[in-house]
Every structure is written in structure tokens, then in C-alpha cells.
């Protein structure tokens, strides 16, 4: 019997017109890569974006987003 992979959603943000973001982790892995994986789903007006990443990739992505957002907030980027 093959178990399915399930995502446990930890963070959810819903926006207008059915858009939003969900972030969670994948568990019950019996085949494939046994490492912990983070799952990201972004529902936008131009279509969905969905991907999985390793823990180190998620940390680097979050750092990059925070750096750019912080620079925009303090007016360093025009």
C-alpha cells in the first residue's frame, strides 16, 4: 500500500477574488526524497504557482524577500 504525501498547512493568507498564499510542510512520505520539504502555494489572478523546497532553500528565499521588502519600506529602492 502506497501512502499519499500530505501537506500540513501552517500559514494561510487569503486575499480578494480568491487569491492567497498557503505554506506548509509535506509528511507521510514513503517514496521519493525522505527529507523534510516545505510546500508553497500562491493563488494569483494570473494563475497558481506551486513549488516544494528544502529547508535551506526556504530560508534563503525568506531572507531575499525580507531584504528587498525592507529596502522598499525604507526608500532605498526606487
Report strand pairing: 6-14 vs 20-27.
antiparallel
Whether the per-residue pLDDT at 46 is higher than 90: the answer is yes
Residue 11 placed within a domain: yes
Whether the per-residue pLDDT at 34 is higher than 90: the answer is no
Residue numbers of the domain that contains 35: 6-73
Give the per-residue pLDDT at 23: 96
Q: Which residues contact 38 (CB under 8 A, 6 or more apart)?
A: 23, 24, 25, 26, 52, 53, 54, 55, 57, 58
Please count the structural domains in the chain: 1
Whether the per-residue pLDDT at 35 is higher than 90: the answer is no
Q: Tell me if residue 65 falls in helix, strand or coil.
A: helix
Once rounded to an integer, what is the mean pLDDT over residues 36-46?
Answer: 92
Position with higher pLDDT, 78 vs 70: 70
Q: Tens digit of pLDDT for each residue in 53-76?
A: 999 999 999 999 999 999 999 988
Residue 51 placed within a domain: yes
Amino acid at each position: 500500500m502506497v501512502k499519499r504525501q500530505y501537506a500540513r498547512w501552517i500559514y494561510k493568507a487569503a486575499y480578494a477574488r480568491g487569491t492567497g498564499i498557503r505554506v506548509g510542510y509535506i509528511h507521510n512520505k514513503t517514496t521519493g526524497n525522505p527529507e523534510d520539504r516545505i510546500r508553497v502555494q500562491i493563488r494569483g489572478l494570473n494563475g497558481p504557482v506551486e513549488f516544494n523546497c528544502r529547508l535551506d532553500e526556504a530560508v534563503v528565499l525568506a531572507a531575499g524577500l525580507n531584504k528587498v521588502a525592507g529596502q522598499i519600506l525604507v526608500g532605498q529602492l526606487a
